[in-house]
Amino acid sequence: MELRPGSPPKPYISASQLTLYETCGEAYRRRYIEGERIPPGMAAHKGSGVHGGAQHNFTQKIESHEDLPLKDIIEVAITSFERRLDSDDVLLLPEEVETGKSTIIGRAKDSVSRMATVLVEDVVHKYQPVLVEQKQKILLPSSSHDLVCILDLADDQDRVVDFKTGTKKKPKGMADESEQLTFQALTYKAHTGRMPKEIILECLIDKAKPENQTLTTTRNLQHIEGLVARITTMQAGLEAGIYIPTTADNWKCSPRWCGFFNTCPYTQGRR
């Protein structure tokens, strides 16, 4: 059914929305139905900064076929981090509050610089981009929601690349099990008509000696069918107004990791 002029836009489901709905339907309801927004933590701001540096480099590399100098990418990464801070508040952890916001921001800038350095020294030379931060909308005419996904990078060898930042290495099986990467495979196929030959997770690890961790996986049509089945179930749940909360033993169900914890009706007696 087509929307008539003046009708509200059709809602969409993204990879992050699907993950949140499956993890905790109540958190999804608070965030996407009620519109309650909890500021992201410093880790998300740092990740945005590094992504900004990567996007700037790869966008110009589509035509130039050359990477920018390290100092230029670091400068853009830090500027992207600062802009994110200016446009959005940040949720500080208890220990960060004690340390002080200005000190935490200074440390975060150093972290962004270190991860951008690893990005340049160990990653960027491996890829000749074709698509950078490509937003793809997949229309589902007979469904209540469409799908939306953004590809960090797709290169000239039919490889989809996603960038992650953090302080610890990821489990080796993470790429094989990641629903988000399956979502990206679906997105790439919708855009090009082809399945990606490989899906690569480039993890930039900020620790005493920063490093890069590369995880490689693949997807096939069976993976896509499984993802579509999950999306279909989510759509049915949304249409029925069903938002199942996570279990009490989920490590994410805590005041440290969920901004809705202290006002959640399902955490009564646990405060």
In a domain, 63, yes or no: yes
pLDDT for the residue 117: 97
Contact between 221 and 235 (Cβ < 8 Å): no
In a domain, 228, yes or no: no
Burial of 240 (0-12, 13-18, 19+ CB in 10 A): exposed
Mean pLDDT of the chain: 91
pLDDT for the residue 106: 93
> Which residues contact residue 162 at a Cβ distance below 8 angstroms, ignoring those fewer than 6 apart?
152, 153, 180, 181, 184, 199, 200, 201, 202
| Closest to 199 (Cα-Cα) out of 223, 216, 220, 224 | 216
In a domain, 106, yes or no: yes
Is residue 193 left, alpha or beta, with left meaning phi > 0 and alpha meaning psi from -120 to 50? left
Domain that residue 95 falls in: 41-126
In a domain, 1, yes or no: no
pTM, to two decimals: 0.88
Q: Provide the domain count of the chain.
A: 1
pLDDT at 170 over 80: yes
In a domain, 101, yes or no: yes
In a domain, 244, yes or no: no
Would you list the DSSP string of 100-153?
A: -HHHHHHHHHHHHHHHHHHIIIIIGGG--EEEEEEEEEE--TTSS-EEEEEEEE
pLDDT for the residue 228: 94
Mean pLDDT along residues 206-231: 95
In a domain, 102, yes or no: yes
End-to-end CA distance of the chain: 46
In a domain, 114, yes or no: yes
Mean pLDDT along residues 95-121: 89
Q: What is the pLDDT of residues 157-166, one digit of tens each?
A: 999 999 999 9
Q: At what angle do helices 101-118 and 70-87 cross, to 10 degrees?
A: 140
